[in-house]
Amino acid sequence: MKRSHPLVTLIALGSMVFLYLPLISVAIYSVNDTRYGLVWHGFTLNWYVKLFHNEIILEAARNTLILAVSSTLVATVLGTALAFGMDRFPWSRRTNTFLDVVLHLPVVIPDIILAAALVVAFGLLRAVSSIFEPGIFIMILGHITFQIAFVALVVRSRLTSLGRDIEEAGRDLYASAFYQFRRVTLPLLMPGIIAGGMLAFTLSLDDFVISFFTSGPDSVTLPLFIYAAVRRGVTPEIHALSTLVVLATIILVVFAERLTRSNKA
């Protein structure tokens, strides 16, 4: 097996340190037995205990979970339907290219641009109905807007890897379209659907920009709370909260990556 050049190894290790050293530092300070300063004063879990007794943080956590779960469920259903329609319907080459571009737009455009567009769109809809006032409802709509694209991309990749031979075999055995979808296509597609849903949930859990532009006074999420708290000064409770959010994100990403890898196997 050919070994990599030492310079390449050094650059790779330096990149890993640059990426993860700040996260490790936050985790270390979250168990440091001092409220102020950077000197180590011993190990403690008091900041985590205080974190779980803070009603404001618990309310932000509830809002975050409501937002992430609701938007993920809707986006997973719509993204799966979109992927299935794009992959199985006989579109022309030009139409298929156009749909691919539209599908990738929410993935590649900056979040700030999408958030500003959502503010304008919700502002126009607000003239029709008061339901589009800033709050948890339009935050869910905003998250669904960008989550659909990620779910559709993952599910469509799974559909492409499955091919159409199994479906054609089902038709040869006189299976109805609904029976074939329910008993053959959907079970084979389920790992991709779960992976896409987990990815959407992770993105919603960590989102700040779109949540910031669409939130109301009673719909503060954990990323918004952390941003506001850091502006007043970084405390050990913020270190503990940030560590828990990062840990939850890592677990979800690893789980989604394992599902995606099993799909390709």
Per-residue pLDDT of the chain (265 residues; tens, 9 = 90+): 566 667 878 888 888 888 888 888 888 888 888 877 677 788 888 888 888 888 888 898 899 999 999 999 999 999 999 998 888 777 888 888 888 888 888 888 888 999 999 999 998 988 888 888 888 999 999 999 999 999 999 898 888 877 767 777 777 666 777 777 777 778 888 888 988 898 899 899 889 999 999 998 888 898 898 888 877 777 788 888 888 888 888 887 777 677 666 555 5
Number of CB atoms found within 10 A of residue 76's CB = 25
The CATH superfamily of 42-264 is MetI-like (1.10.3720.10)
For residues 129 and 152, give the distance between their C-alpha atoms in angstroms, rounded to a whole number: 30
> Do 215 and 139 meet the contact criterion of CB atoms below 8 Å apart?
yes
Which 3-state string (H, E, C) describes 15-42? Answer: HHHHHHHHHHHHHHHCCECCCCCCCCCC
Specify the pLDDT at position 63. 92
For residues 78 and 67, give the distance between their C-alpha atoms in angstroms, rounded to a whole number: 17
| Rg (the chain; Cα; Å) | 22
Specify the pLDDT at position 4. 65
Which sequence spans correspond to the domains of the chain? 42-264
Specify the pLDDT at position 149. 93
